[in-house]
Amino acid sequence: RSHVKTFGKFLGARAKWPLKKFDGGLLQGFYNGLVDEGRSPKTAKNIVKTLARIFERAREEGFCPRNPV
Q: What is the pTM of this model?
A: 0.85
The whole-number pLDDT of residue 57 equals: 95
Asked whether 19 and 58 are in contact (CB, 8 A), the reply is yes
The whole-number pLDDT of residue 43 equals: 94
Low-confidence ranges of the chain (pLDDT < 70): 1
Helices (runs of H) and strands (runs of E) counted in the chain: 3, 0
The whole-number pLDDT of residue 41 equals: 97
